[in-house]
Amino acid sequence: MSGRNLDGHLVYIGSKEENDGVYHNTSEVDLLRAALAGDVDAWGEIVLRYKDAVFGLCLGFVRNRADAEDLTHDTFIRAYENLRRYRLDKKFSTWLFTIASNLSRNRLRHRRYHPVVSPPDQMVGGTDPAAIVAREARQARVKAALDSLPPGYREPIVLRYYNELSYKEIADVLSIPEGTVKTRIHRAKVMLKERMERSGVMKNEARG
């Protein structure tokens, strides 16, 4: 067997009293070993490091804020419960994203699709009101185009452009062949481009 199981290496790092902030510089593997040995503070640090990535994945997949919030929570609980099954020869992020992606796909399967409702405030960066309005409008159209993609095409797009995964990693997370990932991303981009050109976002950027 090639995989090294975390089980064989139980290491406690630090006591509960001294935990606040001490995990900042701790390596991921040490955190995972400590978490497996029952150290929930170490798992807290893992949550801190990955919560944005997991939330972004879930939000990208299900396109609904409340669902994404629940799914992020469930992903970290599920991963903790199944930590014993994680093998060190795989990247931890890929394993975690696989859990998040499976939970999200299940949620979509069992629930009618609700598009994300984003509050118009809370925009970040930029001070020129005209530029902000233009950017908001453009992003709203990109979001609408993403919403309209079939999940099978949207998922690799999210993993590629939000989670910055390689084709191989996307293939692992979604359990589909690498070639299929490339095809779907290509087709998804064609669909997005068409939809955005139609709504004016890519008008001046269309390439022939």
Partner 1 sequence: MKPEDDLDRLLRDTLNQEVEQHAYLLEGLEDRIRSELAGRLPRAGLGDLFRRLLAPTRGARIAQLAVVGATAVVFLVLGVFLAEKVLPTGGGSLRHAAVAAAGTTDEDVLFVMPAPDAKSVAVVGNFNNWSPTPLSDPDGDGIWTARIHLSPGRYEYAFVVDGHWWGQDPLADDYVRSFGQYNSVRYVGRAGEGA
Member of 13, 132, 142, 191 binding partner 1 (CB under 8 A): 142
Residue 26 touching partner 1 (CB under 8 A): no
* Token pair for 194: 């068409």
**C-alpha distances out from residue 99 to 41, 78, 80, 170, 192, Å:** 21, 8, 11, 13, 27
Applying CB under 8 A, which part among 7-15, 40-48, 86-94, 173-181 lies near partner 1? 40-48
Write phi, then psi, for 57 (nearest 5 degrees): -60, -50
Residue 187 touching partner 1 (CB under 8 A): no
Closest to 44 (Cα-Cα) out of 60, 61, 22: 22
Residue 70 touching partner 1 (CB under 8 A): yes
Residue 131 is inside which H or E element, if any? helix 129-148
Query: Could you list the residues that contact partner 1 (CB under 8 A)?
Result: 38, 40-41, 43-45, 47-48, 51-52, 55-56, 59-60, 65, 68-70, 72-74, 76-77, 80-81, 116, 118-119, 122-124, 138-139, 142-143, 146, 157-158, 161-162, 189, 192-193, 196, 201-202, 205, 207
